[in-house]
Each structure stands twice: as C-alpha cells, then as structure tokens.
Amino acid sequence: MSKSEIKALVFDVFGTVVDWRTSISRQAAAFGVKHGVQSDWDQFADDWRVGYGVGMDKVNSGEDEWKIVDQIHRERLDVILPKYGFPQLDEDVLADFNKAWHRLGGWADSTEGLTRLKSKYIIASLSNGNVALLTNMAKYANLPWDAVISAELAGKYKPHPRAYTHTAELLGLKYDEVMLVAAHNNDLRGAINAGLKAALVTRPDEFGDAKKPDLEPENDFDYFAKDFHDLADQLGCD
C-alpha cells in the first residue's frame, strides 16, 4: 500500500496529544486546597479516568444509551469525590470542575509537531471526547486542528469500527487515505481493522508509574515514531 496516499491524519487525543494525568492531578490538587482536602492527586486522576473506559464500554455494548464523555466523567466524579473526603458541593462548582478535562495541556511537541504535520496533511482530532470538550481543549492547549472530529458524531466509541469509518466519510476520503495517530496499540488495531492506516507515537510518561505505556507496536502499523516531530520527519514535512 503506497504511503503517499495519506491525505488526512486523525489523532487520538487523551494521552496522545495531551497529558491528561498531570493536568488533572494539578487541577485536582488546587480543587482540594480550595475545599480543604488533602490526597494523592495522581491517584485521584487515575481513579477519575477509570470511569472513562467502563462508561464507553457500556455504551458500545448497548447496556447504556448514548452518553457523551462529559457525562461519563461527571458520573465518575460523583462517585469518587466522597471517597476522597470532599464535602457536598454546589452544582455549578461540580460542573466547572468536571470541565477540568476541557483544560488539559499538550505534550511539549504537540503544538509545533501538529503545525508541521498540518502543512502537508489535513489534521483532525478523532477522540472519544465530545465535540465541546475537544473544542475547548483545542483553544486551551493551542491545538491547530483543521477539524474537530469526535466519536460523538458517529454515535459509537472507538474502537468500534464505525467511529473510524464515519470520520473518513465526513472528511470525504477513502478509509486508507486516513491515518490514525495514537499512543495506544488497541486504538490503532481498531483503525486498521476498519481500513484506516495507523501510526504509533510513544508517550512514555502518560501513566506516570501507575501503568506501563505502549512503547512498541504490537501489529504491523504503517509508522512508528517517538513523538510528533519524529513523525513529521518521517512523513517529509518541513
């Protein structure tokens, strides 16, 4: 398959483009100070994140109706706050803190690397995060997307094939003209199973010391890069 056929790069976002764990931990620490709570905020971030996979699996399996990631985050937040000793909080305070996931910082190479890749390709998000979350995050983290695309628009979460194929269709491209860029083998397998191309970019610090990141491709993906600059070099971007 010719590598020159790629017309769009679509990106997993949580972990691949933004450092969710550090960003959530930092915001949770500030939230703790404000409400008189002390804790291990990295663990809090991991605990909050647990709800994400579980919540999406329930939607894809049909056990739950469609719900956006903001709602999945909020349901998990309501479960963990009492566990960490937070008092009852007002609805507007909770709604704002739930948007911590809209305020995630990019990795050091994210903005510059994406800008280089954008010079040659259409670049778009392809995240399970909802459109509002991704739009606000792009503004916050200075992510220069050509288009904000979300699994929300397909009504199925990655790694369901429809999340990938629907994205290519929205962009008016053949499936193999689109390459998913992600730091996770599982997501990339979903992309190639759906007919897209795939590039693994490693993010060794995504999980801190809580969990091992994917540092090697587990399948025969099209590209394997250590960050977005390395990918831009391999793809011949200025």
* Interface residues toward a copy of itself, by CB under 8 A: 70, 122, 124, 130-136, 138-139, 146-149, 152-153, 170-173
Nearer to a copy of itself, 86 or 121 (CB): 121
Q: Is the Cβ–Cβ distance between 89 and 78 less than 8 Å?
A: no
18 versus 134: smaller Cβ distance to a copy of itself: 134
Judged by beta carbon, residue 94 or residue 132, the one nearer a copy of itself is 132
Under 8 Å between Cβ of 141 and 111: yes
H/E element holding 116?
A: helix 110-118
Q: CA neighbours within 13 Å on the CB side: how many for 65?
A: 1
- CA dist 215 → 4, 48, 185, 192, 195 (Å): 26, 24, 9, 18, 23
Min dist. Cβ of residue 27 to a copy of itself (A): 18
Residue whose CB is less far from a copy of itself, 94 or 153: 153
CB of 218 to a copy of itself, least distance (A): 31
Least Cβ distance, residue 34 to a copy of itself (angstroms): 24
How many Cα atoms within 13 Å fall on the side-chain side of residue 15?
A: 26
3-state secondary structure of 182: strand
Minimum distance from residue 133 beta carbon to a copy of itself (Å): 8
The nearer residue to a copy of itself, 220 or 238, going by C-beta atoms, is 238
Minimum CB separation of residue 207 from a copy of itself in Å reads 28
Distance CA 44, CA 87 (A): 16
